[in-house]
Amino acid sequence: GQNIDQPTEMTATEGAIVQINCTYQTSGFNGLFWYQQHAGEAPTFLSYNVLDGLEEKGRFSSFLSRSKGYSYLLLKELQMKDSASYLCAVDSNYQLIWGAGTKLIIKP
Amino acid sequence: DTAVSQTPKYLVTQMGNDKSIKCEQNLGHDTMYWYKQDSKKFLKIMFSYNNKELIINETVPNRFSPKSPDKAHLNLHINSLELGDSAVYFCASSQDHGRDITGELFFGEGSRLTVL
């Protein structure tokens, strides 16, 4: 079957760094997405990785290792507004397979 | 201008009723989707339309029927609503990047359906 695993919940402190991991087992792979979803709102696109390595975009970075079926989202200089769920999704044969999301709680 | 808009945002109805949710995108995208997000926050694909053709139907009960009058609209009609249909339904669109690659998804704000 196809499976995406990510932690259910994480807590971090304002100003700190947090890494959210995602492991996947899918029948195909055409890239991995990270989306951010604030409570009661729609998911919004954060990043896309299709090649191994780190993609940096401001305070957010995303890493991919295809051989390990592993990705992480790194958030630096955390702000209170970063409190949200972070969804990992894999493009597998023209279908997006979604993880359940990691709820990130930021404390002052 | 809202890129992907869906209506209504909130819908409360009785079991057994029939309801529709409308979705429109002004991004010129080729593919539109309906997703269901339940209380456990899993996003589950229901339907995908590419240029008015259904290309995914993920074992959704036939009480759910998508209707796409043109590539900018994808409506969802639900017959004989059941309690388990209560969820948030998201419409989304993406631009094709080739047959086997999904582009970035742009989501509507969601329609929260509550069945009593």
Note the pLDDT tens digit of each residue in B37-87.
Answer: 988 778 888 998 887 788 777 788 999 999 998 889 999 999 999 999 999
Of A31, A42, A96, the CB nearest to B90: A42
pLDDT of residue A106: 97
Test A44 with B107 for CB contact under 8 angstroms. yes
Percentages of chain A per state (helix, strand, coil), in multiples of 5: 5, 60, 40
What is the C-alpha end-to-end distance of chain A, expressed in Å?
40
Choose among A28, A94, A98: nearest Cβ to B99.
A94
Instruction: Please tell me what DSSP assigns to residue B72.
Output: T
Q: What is the pLDDT of residue B50?
A: 85
Beta-strand pair A102-107/A9-13: parallel
A29 touches B at CB < 8 Å: no
Better pLDDT: B1 or A61: A61
State both tokens at A21. 């991991």
B36-54 burial, b for 16+ CB within 10 Å, e for fewer?
A: bbeeebbbebbbbbbeeee
d(C-alpha B87, C-alpha A17), whole Å: 33
**Tell me, what's the pLDDT at A103?**
96
Indicate if the pLDDT at residue B110 is higher than 90: yes
Q: Is the preceding omega at residue A7 within 30 degrees of 0, hence cis?
A: no
Tokens read off for A101: 């999301």
From residue B9, give the alpha-carbon distance in Å to each of A41, B65, B108: 11, 19, 10
A31 touches B at CB < 8 Å? yes
Closest CA to A24 of A87, A103, A75, A94: A87
B44 touches chain A (CB under 8 A): yes
Nearest to B56 by CA among B20, B31, B73: B31
Smallest Cβ distance to B56: which of A28, A95, A98? A95
Match 């819908």 to its residue by tokens: B11
Decide if B101 and A96 are in contact by the 8 Å CB cutoff: no
- A27 reaches B (C-beta below 8 A): no
Share of chain B above pLDDT 90, in %: 62
Q: The tokens 């009609």 sit on which residue?
A: B77
